Amino acid sequence: MTVDSFAEPWILWTLLVLHVVAIPLSALGARRDHRLGLGIAAIPPLLTTIWTVILLAGSAEPFTTELLWVEGLDVGFSFRTDSIALLMTLLVSGIGTLVLTYATGYFSSSSAQMPRMTASLLAFSTSMLGLVLADSIWTVFIFWEFTSITSFVLVGHKDVDASVRDAARRALMITGAGGLSLLGGLVILGSEAGTTSLSELEPITGGRGWIAALLILGGVATKSAQVPFHVWLPGAMKAPTPVSAYLHSATMVKAGVLLLAITGPAFVDVATWKWVGLALGITSMLWGGITSLRHRDAKLILAWGTISQLGLLVTLLSVGTAKATFAAISILFAHAIFKAALFAVVGEIDIRTGTRDIRELGGLHRTMPIATAVAVVSGLSMAGVPPLLGFAAKEAAVEAALKLSGIDALIVSTSIIGGSVITVAYTTRFLLGTFGAGPDTSVAPRRPGMTIATTILGLGSIVGYIAMGAVNNIVRPAAIEIDKKAEVYLLYRWPGLTTGFMVSLGIVAAGVVVGAFILNRVDQPAPEARGADMVDSGLDRFLAWAPQPIAAIQHGSLPVYLATMVLVALTATIPFASDIDVDTLVLWDSPFQGALALAIVVAALAGAFVSSRLGAALTLGAVGLGVSGIFVVHGAPDLALTQLVVETVIVVGFVLGLGHLARSFPAAHATWKSVRMAVSTILGVGVALALAASGSNPSGTPPIEELAEAAVDEGGGANIVNVILTDLRALDTLGEVVVLAVVAIGILALANTRETEANA
C-alpha cells in the first residue's frame, strides 16, 4: 500500500459521512452515559486524524473532489486536500479527539444536557472539518455558518443562566453578521476572479476588489475576534472549558485567519486588504494583550491572550511577505497546541478547585503537579522560550518583522515586538498568579480523561520542538501553498546568535519584568465588558423597537394588503405596455367567445352589486363556469375540466363558509365603495395589459410537435397535458402538490389553535 492509495476521494467522503452519522449516535449514547456518547463522538475525528497523519507523512498528492448540486453556478460541496487544508484538518480532528477525551473527565455527571453537548461538539467538529477542507467559496460559506450555529449552541450550554444566553446570542449575532459580510465578499471575489474554486484563485485587479476585501475582512474580523468585533469572545468563555479550548482557541477562531491566508493571494494588488488587515491585527494584538494583563479570571486572561495572538496572525498575514506568511502559519500551528493545553489546564483547575480567580489560587504546583507542568511548558511555549515549539515559531515572526523595510518596518516590527513583550508579561502573570505562592487551595482528585488530554497537549509543544523536521514538513508546504516564495524558509531549533535571537531574548526579559514586577497587581478591579454590554443593549433596543415597524407593515387589514398587491402588480406591467402590438388583438376567434365573455362580464358585475352573500358566491361560480366555457371553445378540455371542478368545489366551499356570516353584506360607505371599484378596475386593466403584451410577444413557436412525440414515447400517454404533469414536467407537479400539502397542514394547525383557544 502506498500513501497515494489513501489519497482517495472516497475516503474523505466516508469520513465526512461517518461524522454526520455519528452525531445522532453520540447523542443516543450520551443518554445512557456521557462517556459512551463522547467515546462515539471521538471515533470519526480520531480516524480523520490518522488519515491526515498518513497523508502528511507520505506527502501524498493533493486532490480535489466535489459533489455538484447546481451545475453552472458551481453550487455544491467541493473539497481539496492541499497542505494547508491537511494542516488545519490535523488541528481540527486531532485537538477534537483530545477535547472529546478531556470532556469525559470535565463533565462529571450525566446531566440532561449531555446528549446535546456531545452531539453539538461533534457537529461543530464536522462543520469545522468541512470548512478547512472546503475548496469552493460556497462550501466555505455553508460550513462557516454551520460553525457559527454550532458555536451558539455550545456557548449556550448552561441555558438556564440568562448571562449565558446573552453571551451565546451576542456570539451568534456578531459572527452571523460577519458571515453575511463574508458571503457578499465571496460573491464579489468569485465574479472578479472568474472562479469559485479557492485553489484556482488568481490575483484580482478589478475596481471592486476593495469592496470584496472589506467584506471578507468583515467576516475574518468577526470570526477571529479582531477589535472591535472581539466582544463576543470573552463572553463565550461562559461555555464549558472543553468548548472554549476547542472552539475559542484552537479551531473556530482560526477560521478567519485561515480564510485570510487562502484568499490573501487574490488580494495582493488590493491595498485596502493589507492596510485594513494591519489595522485590525495590530489593534487586536495590543489591546488584547493589555486587557489580558488586567483580568483576574484565568480563563479570561487566556481568552484576551487569544485575541492578542489572533491579532498577531492577522498582522503577519496582512504584511504579505513570504517570511511573514511562513511565520503566521507556524504560529497558527504552535498556538493551537499550547493554547488548547492552557485552556484544558484552566478547566481542570476550575473543576478540581471550584475557582478560576488567580487571587484565590495558590500552591497548585504541589497539589496539581501534572497540570502545573503542562501549563508551564505551554505557557513558556506561548511566551517564545526555548526549547519549545512556540519559540521557533515566534522566532520566525521576529525575523520576519525585522526583515521588513519602509513604513511597514516601523509600524509592524514595533507592534510585533511590543505585542510579544505583552504576551510574555501576561503569560508570566498568569503562571505566577495561578501556580505560584498563595493560599493553598483545596483540590479534588484527578480525573483520568482530563489528565490524559492535557498531558498529550502539553507534550505537543516539546515534541514539536524535538521533531522540528516533521513540523517543518507540515508547516512549510502550507506556507508555500499561499506564497511560493516561502519555500526558502524553515523553522530552526537553534537559530544561532542572530539579531532576531537577541531581540527575542530582550522581549522575554522585558516581558518577565513587566509581568512579574510591574503589572502583576491583582487587587485592581477587572475591566468591565463595556463593548459587550453595548452590543447587548443595542440588540435589546432593536428588539424593543422592531414591533412598531412590523405592526405598521403587517397591520392585518386584508383590503389594504389586496390593494397593495394590485398596485404592485400593475406597476410591474406598465413597462410592458409599449410591447402591445395592436394588430394581434382581435375581437374574437369565434362568436361563442363573445357570448361567453358577455356572460362573464354580466355575472362579474352582478357579483359586485348583489347584496346577498350567497348570491355573490353564485355569481362568482358563474364567472368560473364562463371561463371554463372559454377554455372549451379554445380547445383546452383538460383546463376546462379542471376549472369546472375547481369552481364547483369553491362555490360549495363558499356556501359552507357563509354559514358563519350574515346573509347580506354589511352596508359600506360610499368612499370605501369607490376605492374598491378603483382597485378592481386597476387590477382588470393591469391583467388585460399584461395579457395583451405577452400575446404580442410570442417567444418562438410552442414546442407542440416535440411534446406530442415525447408524450407518447416517454410518457406512454396520448393526453399531452397530463403526461406533462405526471412525467415530462413532473418535478413541477411534485413541488406544487407538496406546497398544497403544506398549506393544508397549515390550515389544520390554525384550526387546531382555534379549538385550543376556544377550550381554554
Partner 1 sequence: MIGGSSPVLQLGVRTATPLAILVGVYLFFAGHNAPGGGFAAGLVFGAVVTLRAIAGIQRPTHAMTLLSGGTLMVIVVAAIPLFFGEPLLDQAVGSIEVPLLGKVKSGSALPFDLGVSAIVVGLIIALLDGLGVGDITAKRPQSPDSSEVAS
Binding site for partner 1 (CB under 8 A): 557-560, 637-638, 640-642, 645-646, 648-649, 652-653, 655-657, 659-662, 664-666, 668-669, 672, 714-719, 721-723, 725-727, 730-731, 733-734, 737-738, 740-741, 743-745, 747-748, 750-751, 754
Smaller CB separation from partner 1, 5 or 554: 554
CA distances from 9 to 55, 69, 300 (A): 12, 17, 41
Peptide bond into 387 cis (omega under 30): yes
Other CB atoms closer than 10 Å to residue 575's CB: what's the count? 9
Q: How far apart are CA 621 and CA 652, in angstroms?
A: 9
Other CB atoms closer than 10 Å to residue 550's CB: what's the count? 10
Smaller CB separation from partner 1, 518 or 741: 741
Q: Among candidates 391, 398, 247, which has minimal Cα distance to 319?
A: 398
**153 and 69 Cβ atoms separated by less than 8 Å:** no
Q: How far apart are CA 411 and CA 355, in angstroms?
A: 40
DSSP letter string, 604-673 = HHHHHH--BHHHHHHHHHHHHHHHHHHHHHTT-HHHHHHHHHHHHHHHHHHHHHHTTS-SBPPP--HHHH
- H-run or E-run covering 364: helix 364-367
Q: Among candidates 299, 328, 325, 516, which has minimal Cα distance to 424?
A: 516
Q: How far apart are CA 370 and CA 391, in angstroms?
A: 22
CA dihedral 110, 116, 118, 122 (to 10 degrees): 180
| Cβ-Cβ contacts under 8 Å for 404 (sequence gap 6 or more) | 319, 321, 324, 412, 413
DSSP 248: I
Q: How far apart are CA 595 and CA 443, in angstroms?
A: 96
- Residue 407's identity, in one-letter code, is I
Q: How far apart are CA 501 and CA 484, in angstroms?
A: 26
Residue 76, SS3? Answer: strand
Q: Among candidates 395, 270, 371, which has minimal Cα distance to 323?
A: 395
Residues in the chain: 760
Q: How far apart are CA 174 and CA 40, in angstroms?
A: 32
What minimum distance in Å lies between the beta carbon of 606 and partner 1? 20
How is residue 758 written as a grid cell?
376556544
